[in-house]
Copies of this chain bind each other. A is one copy, B any other.
Amino acid sequence: MRDKIDLGVIGGDGIGPEVVAEARKILRAALPEGVELTETEYPFGAKHYQETDEILDDESLERLAQHDALLLGAVGGDPADPRLAGGIIERGLLLKIRFAFDHYINLRPVRLWPNTTSPLANPGEIDFVVVREGTEGLYTGNGGSVRTGTVHEIANELSVNTAFGVERTVRYAFDLAQRRERKKLTLVHKKNVLVNAGVMWNRIVNEVASEYPEVSVDYLHIDAATIFFVTDPSRFDVIVTDNLFGDIITDLAGAVTGGIGLAASGNINPDGTFPSMFEPVHGSAPDIAGTGKANPTAAILSIALLLRHFGFEEAAQRVEAACEADVVEAGGAPRSTSEIGDAILARLA
């Protein structure tokens, strides 16, 4: 077990720094005795870009690479600012890190806690994990266009999928399913239309399945899957899917389980070659920044994923249990960001 975690912290924009501050309190309190924590803050984000013209240069990336893990709040500024149009920060910072640090697993647990208000009338018991592929698909930036302004203008987007990239993701998902009680894996794709990528995903799932005889496997088209997210989300255990489909269904899953204020994620490099990065699924929410209304629970749950990533399973479970107990008892009463953070902290003590 490691005795030191060297953490890089990017608070980011909007509510990002606010929720990250609470998450850091929890991390310090939850770390097992004897594990030393060092924290280095980085200013990156839309605001930093507006002030300095820097998004994330290679030297900064090199510095980030030295850490054991990264904690990210949220990035993205005022959508009305033309300098920020076109997702320049999202791609230049967030996606740049995911790709540079080979975060091929984007791990997104989905749980509906007792006493949480779901928009569904009968949500049932929801407890599943989405394993979203993180470095391929439509996210590789391999599209193109020439702006002519004529009707003949063409804009292409290329979804790139390699057997290497798909297989390592699928294996991770099977390993996870194997360790869970229900041992069920669902591949979500659109193989009847995306025949190249979809058929490859499907084939690899079937191949790897033979090594996991205890795991039952099924398949859903992405469109049909969204139906089950609202009619029968408890059917899911582990979902494995591509980068874009995973992006879509994890927002939907967050909404169904009471809001993405509770949705955590880990951008994981399972090989350990690069630091993994933990972040809430939600965005920078500029509309509520500074009001103290942001819910830090998603960021705090991302700390649990960080602890688990380093093998501190018991500490991870303590953080999750504290968050759950807090949500259950508070039952949606309005509290400030730090009130929620402190309440969860008190439960850890």
Q: Please give the residue numbers on chain A whose beta carbons come within 8 Å of chain B beta carbons, in ascending order.
A: 86-87, 90-91, 95, 118-122, 138-139, 141, 143-145, 148-164, 167, 190-197, 199-200, 222-224, 226-227, 229-231, 244, 247-252, 254-256, 259-260
Please report the C-alpha to C-alpha distance between residue A90 and residue B195 in the assembled complex, in whole angstroms.
11
Contact residue among B119, B144, B260 (Cβ-Cβ distance under 8 Å from A196): B144
- Flag if A162 contacts B151 (CB, 8 Å): yes
**Interface core residue of A149, A150, A155 (most chain B CB under 10 Å):** A155
* Alpha-carbon gap, A217 to B195, bound state (A): 34
Bound-state CA distance A145–B196 (Å) is: 6
The complex places the Cα of A224 from the Cα of B281 at a distance, in Å, of 11
Query: Please, how many angstroms separate the alpha-carbon atoms of A343 and B348 in the complex?
Result: 62
A153 touching B143, Cβ below 8 Å: no
Q: Would A193 and B155 count as touching, CB distance under 8 A? A: no
Enumerate chain B residues within 8 angstroms of A254, measured Cβ to Cβ. Answer: 227
The answer to whether A164 touches B192, judged by C-beta atoms less than 8 angstroms apart, is no
Q: Is the CB of A158 within 8 A of B161?
A: no
A197 with B163, Cβ < 8 A, contacts A223-B247, A255-B226, A260-B227 known: no
27 inter-chain pairs at a CB distance below 8 angstroms, sorted by A residue, are A86-B191, A87-B195, A90-B192, A91-B195, A120-B121, A121-B121, A138-B159, A143-B159, A143-B195, A150-B163, A151-B162, A151-B164, A153-B200, A154-B162, A155-B162, A155-B163, A156-B158, A157-B159, A157-B197, A158-B159, A159-B159, A222-B247, A222-B248, A226-B248, A226-B252, A226-B255, A230-B230
Given B90, B118, B161, B229, which contacts A155 in the complex, CB threshold below 8 Å?
B161
Contact A194 B138 (CB under 8 A): yes
Q: With A143-B197, A223-B247 as given contacts, are A156 and B160 in contact (CB-CB < 8 Å)?
A: yes
Bound state CA distance, A164 and B151, in angstroms?
5
Contact (Cβ within 8 A) A87 B193: yes
The CA of A154 and the CA of B244, in the complex, are separated in Å by 17
CA distance A148 to B148 in the complex (A): 38
Decide if B167 touches A161 in the complex (CB within 8 Å): no
A157-B196, A227-B252 are known; give 5 further A-B pairs, CB within 8 A. A86-B192, A90-B192, A91-B193, A119-B122, A152-B164
Closest beta carbon of chain B to A21's beta carbon, Å: 25
Chain B residue, CB-CB nearest to A227: B255
Bound CA span A152–B231, Å: 39
Q: Which residues of B contact A120 (CB under 8 A)?
A: 119-121, 230
Partner of A199, one of B86, B139, B194, B223: B86
Chain B contacts of A122 at CB under 8 A? 119
**Residue among A150, A229, A255 facing the most chain B CB atoms (10 A cut-off):** A255
Q: Which residues of B contact A157 (CB under 8 A)?
A: 158-159, 161, 194, 196-197
**How far, in angstroms, from A256 to B119 measured CA to CA in the complex?**
11
Q: How far is the CB of A103 from chain B (nearest CB, A)?
A: 15
In whole Å, how far is A142's beta carbon from the nearest beta carbon of chain B?
A: 8
Across the interface, which residues of B come within 8 angstroms of A199, CB to CB?
86, 145, 155
Do A153 and B162 touch (CB < 8 A)? yes
Tell me the bound Cα distance from A95 to B190 in angstroms.
Answer: 14
Nearest-CB residue, chain B, relative to A153? B163
CA distance A224 to B265 in the complex (A): 16
A138 to B144, CA, bound (A): 14
